[in-house]
Amino acid sequence: MLDWSLIGGVMNFCAVYFTTQLVRCAVFSFILIWFVILLRKVFFSKRVFLRGLLWTLFLFVPFLGKLKVFYENEVVFRLTWRMTYGTMQNIWFDRIYISGIFVAAFCIFGKRLHLRRIVSGMKTSVFEGTQICVTEMNVTPFTSGLLRPKIVLPQIMLDSYRKDELMAIIQHEKTHIRLGHLWYGFAWDILICLLWINPFLSVFRKYLRSDMEDICDRVCIQNSGSSAHEYGLVLLKSLKVLRLGYEGISPTATYAGEKEFADMKRRMSEIADFRPYRKRLCTGMGIVTFMAIAAVFLIIHINSYARYSESKDIMVGSYDGEAKIVSTDTEELSKMISYDDSYVYVDREAFETFLYENNATGDIYIIFGGYTKLPGLGGAGEGCIYERDSKDSIVRIPYESIMNNWAHILCKQL
């Protein structure tokens, strides 16, 4: 029979453990989102590729919750300890936060699944060796899917566009796929779910999308061999099939095209300012960025607490109508107490003297080993009751390890 109290305890621990970390990440994301918006508006307004790279800073945000600086740096500890204490103590807040993650995921990824079903029901066609999905809805072209991306074009565009114009549109969508923009949009949706208490991640997602569009436009112009003017005319023609407030398509259509004329006007302004870029320089910048990302992840890993840490601490307590801690001096206790995977070994004479000197009466219990998650949060120790009636010089006490319990096995791996 299931032990529902144990299951409930594990769920409560998970809520506290993850909420404590994610709230820290959310606070950091508030600062970072405004920092990125400031940079892209003030310093990188004319640097399309650098604007796009700014968003990679958010890749690190979900992994900052276990940084040692939250506990070991006095200044940071003082600034954040109230927040940490609150998430550790207020289980209802933790439950609400975790529930919010599931609600956000249901809404966001439910729309993605709905879009996938819509696209899977569309008829397919092959145009110049590229398979496309064709819809009767008057929507701008978009790409859906991650592992097997599908390019969707409206029938009206196939009927009214020339071959070269269709090739430009399809190439635009292929460029989004090649540059990994679909995956970045997916990662951003995950970030919104995990840090849902930061509404600016949703509000400013439009800037992420616009930066990805601008990058894609520049790459397409550079690779097409046509002029920016000709490329812009193809986009302007799409306004004929653009409808505001159309129905039947999910708003999660990745890079489905701008729904507002003002945004199209912004794109045209960027295209008008197009200047050829050096591909080798951009490739080098991409390699440097990848290496920098890997280095930052390594730094975060080194300066964060591990998934769990084996504990070597030993504690002795007593119970004589009231629980008391006799000693937590591991160095002193380890001279009298040792253990392996099955037994605890106690030097009876030395330990009895120790108990007498500390006025320890009643039942004596020994807590040892185990594991810890974060300081003050999570973890457990092995335990046994000292046998006072033993006459052996070395008292051997059997115990059943907590590591045989599924709950602790799960908690260690979280």
pLDDT at 22 (0 to 100)? 93
Report helix, strand and coil shares of the chain as percent, to nearest 5. Answer: 60, 15, 25
Q: pLDDT, tens digit, for every residue of 319-328?
A: 888 888 888 8
pLDDT at 259 (0 to 100)? 52
Q: What is the mean pLDDT of residues 147-176?
A: 85
Asked if residue 256 has pLDDT above 60, the reply is: no
Residues above pLDDT 70, as percent of the chain? 92
Instruction: Choose the weakest-confidence range: 108-112, 161-165, 245-249.
Output: 245-249
Asked if residue 258 has pLDDT above 70, the reply is: no
- Give the residue, 335 or 270, on which the prediction is more confident: 335
Question: Which residue's structure tokens are 């009927």?
Answer: 159
pLDDT at 298 (0 to 100)? 94
Q: Taking Cα atoms as reference points, which of 25, 12, 192 lies closest to residue 106?
A: 192
Q: Using DSSP bridges, classify how beta strands 142-144 and 323-327 pair: parallel, antiparallel or unpaired.
A: unpaired
Residue 227 structure tokens: 């002029």
Q: Please, is 218 exposed, middle or buried when counting C-beta atoms within 10 Å of its C-beta (0-12, 13-18, 19+)? A: buried
- Give the residue, 412 or 172, on which the prediction is more confident: 172
* Contact (CB, 8 A) for 151 and 130: yes
pLDDT at 261 (0 to 100)? 62
Q: What is the mean pLDDT of residues 163-189?
A: 89
Give the mean pLDDT of the chain: 84
pLDDT at 254 (0 to 100)? 39
pLDDT at 200 (0 to 100)? 94
- CA dist 265 and 236 (Å) reads 9
DSSP state of 67: B
pLDDT grade for 154, boundaries at 50, 70 and 90: confident
- Give the residue, 134 or 258, on which the prediction is more confident: 134
Q: What is the mean pLDDT of residues 249-259?
A: 42
pLDDT grade for 242, boundaries at 50, 70 and 90: low
Looking at the DSSP bridge assignments, the partners of residue 372 are 309, 379
> Which contacts of 381-388 are long-range, i.e. CB under 8 A and separated by 24 or more positions?
381/311, 381/313, 381/315, 382/339, 384/344, 386/346, 386/351, 388/364
Q: What is the mean pLDDT of residues 76-83?
A: 86
- CA dist 194 and 62 (Å) reads 8
Upper half-sphere CA count for residue 381 (Cβ side, 13 Å): 15
Q: pLDDT, tens digit, for every residue of 22-69?
A: 999 999 999 999 999 999 888 887 888 888 889 999 999 999 999 999
pLDDT grade for 97, boundaries at 50, 70 and 90: very high
Q: pLDDT, tens digit, for every residue of 57-76?
A: 999 999 999 999 988 888 88
pLDDT grade for 142, boundaries at 50, 70 and 90: confident
Residues above pLDDT 90, as percent of the chain? 23
Asked if residue 5 has pLDDT above 80, the reply is: no
Burial 298-335 (b: 16+ CB within 10 A, else e): eeeeeebbeebeebeebbbbbeeeeeeebeeeeeebee
Using only C-alpha atoms, what is the Rg of the chain? Answer: 30
Asked if residue 243 has pLDDT above 70, the reply is: no
Q: What is the mean pLDDT of residues 110-115?
A: 90
pLDDT at 192 (0 to 100)? 95
pLDDT grade for 262, boundaries at 50, 70 and 90: low
pLDDT at 250 (0 to 100)? 43
